[in-house]
Amino acid sequence: MKGENLTKRTGSLNKKGQAMRMDLLLAEKRVMEWATACSDELGFRRSSIEAAYIWNPGGFVNQSYRISDSETVRHVKFAQAAKAPFLKQWAAISEYLTEHYQAPSLVLEVNQEILPGYPYGLVFEFIEGKPLSLAANPQSVIQNVLEKLNQLHTDKEIPKLIATEQACSYSDAFTEAYITRFEEDLDIIRSEKHQLNFVTDKSLAWFSTEVDALREKVSQMPSFQKQATDIVHNDINWQNILVNDRDDFWLIDWDDLTVNGDAAMDYSVFLWPLYQTKDWAFWKEYVSQLAGQEVVERMEFYFRAKLLDDVIDVLADYIEAENVPEVKEKTQKRAMEIHLHAYAEYMKRYV
């Protein structure tokens, strides 16, 4: 995952399952040289420009950097070719998202290959905020974010601004969000199993069985058979919500937005830190009043998939980190800890 996110891994691996090797020091140098050459377009006034890689513990499909002339700060996100269309969609509606959904302002599109294998990018204003996960009092922001998500899910203008995707059911949306990615991850894990000495063959076989079982359950539930018509962010975890000391908030990372999604996906990802806590009954009822009981019903299956995601997806992250020496140790340590904890928790709740 991207942190806790659900971005597709497509394009990050070659046919042998090996991730692109990254030299972060060289990458930072290239980004700095590009930013210096484009300083006027980026709004920089000073000649001394720095670039720093932003560690994403959940994957390396995209690369992000903080660039600054010590006065003005920007955030640049580069995408591999397979992910470029998702960033281009974001660029196409960026002004609307900034105006209505507290998204960061787009500064510049990057249509040249600054980093090998990353032919497209976007530069945004840098938001001086911290992730909601680090906020002293996240409860004061949660209700406002839920209302903003509900507004997004029923937005009538976004489908007019971007190409409408082929109609699908909520079951299809669930499969796209989780099942397909689980299968991609499992292919990677099987091909590089020798790197995972803490995962047994028996466990790996069970992962596949559980993914099939979850797919079957969702395919049979009536509430999943209706047409998916929700505008969904698809990655609204607490790392992608920035807040300041006044409880202002911004929603970032809009490259997985879809016009044929399931609101239950957004609610489950956003409310995951509160699920089964002492406050859960309140927030569950709040979503029911906001979005309806069928959304709450589907949300329970998204919670289950979210926990399974912490079991499976981080193993693929562990493997990919082999190719990024500068962050390998901390990425793999985090991935193994999440996997072991989530595996035990999943078995306790669902098996």
> Quick one: pLDDT band at residue 17, thresholds 50, 70, 90?
very low
- Asked if the model's pLDDT at residue 195 lies above 50, the reply is yes
**Range name among 46-60, 174-188, 302-316 with the lowest pLDDT average:** 46-60
Region 54-81 average pLDDT: 90
- Asked if the model's pLDDT at residue 336 lies above 90, the reply is yes
Looking at residue 224, what is its pLDDT? 97
pLDDT per residue as tens digits for the range 92-133 = 999 999 999 999 999 999 999 999 999 999 999 999 999 999
- Asked if the model's pLDDT at residue 2 lies above 80, the reply is no
- Asked if the model's pLDDT at residue 76 lies above 70, the reply is yes
- Asked if the model's pLDDT at residue 3 lies above 50, the reply is no
Q: Which residue has the tokens 């990802």?
A: 269
State whether residue 74 is helix, strand or coil: strand
> Quick one: pLDDT band at residue 10, thresholds 50, 70, 90?
very low
Q: How far apart are CA 165 and CA 75, in angstroms?
A: 29
- Asked if the model's pLDDT at residue 72 lies above 80, the reply is yes
How far from 169 is each of 183, 219, 260, 287, CA to CA, in Å? 20, 10, 8, 21
pLDDT per residue as tens digits for the range 134-157 = 998 898 899 999 999 999 999 999
90 CB-side CA count, 13 A: 32
- DSSP H helical segments within 154-200, as ranges? 158-161, 170-174, 180-191
- Asked if the model's pLDDT at residue 11 lies above 70, the reply is no
When the pLDDT of each residue in the chain is averaged and rounded to a whole number, the result is 91
- Asked if the model's pLDDT at residue 164 lies above 60, the reply is yes
Confirm whether pTM is higher than 0.85. yes
> Quick one: pLDDT band at residue 201, thresholds 50, 70, 90?
very high
Q: How far apart are CA 121 and CA 109, in angstroms?
A: 6
> Quick one: pLDDT band at residue 330, thresholds 50, 70, 90?
very high
Region 180-206 average pLDDT: 96
Region 283-312 average pLDDT: 97
Q: Is 167 exposed, middle or buried (0-12, 13-18, 19+ CB in 10 A)?
A: exposed
**Residue 163 identity (one-letter amino acid):** A
Kind of pairing, strands 130-131 and 249-251?
Answer: unpaired
Q: How far apart are CA 288 and CA 144, in angstroms?
A: 16
- Asked if the model's pLDDT at residue 273 lies above 90, the reply is yes
Q: How far apart are CA 28 and CA 21, in angstroms?
A: 14
Give the Cα-Cα-Cα angle 309, 193, 302 (nearest 5 degrees).
Answer: 10
Q: Give per-residue burial for 192-211: e unless 16+ CB within 10 Å, then b.
A: beeebeebeeeebeebeebb
Looking at residue 21, what is its pLDDT? 61
Q: Is 337 exposed, middle or buried (0-12, 13-18, 19+ CB in 10 A)?
A: exposed
Looking at residue 323, what is its pLDDT? 86
DSSP per-residue letters across 90-155: HHHTHHHHHHHH-PPPEEEEE-S-SBTTB-EEEEEEPP--EEGGG-S-THHHHHHHHHHHHHHHT-
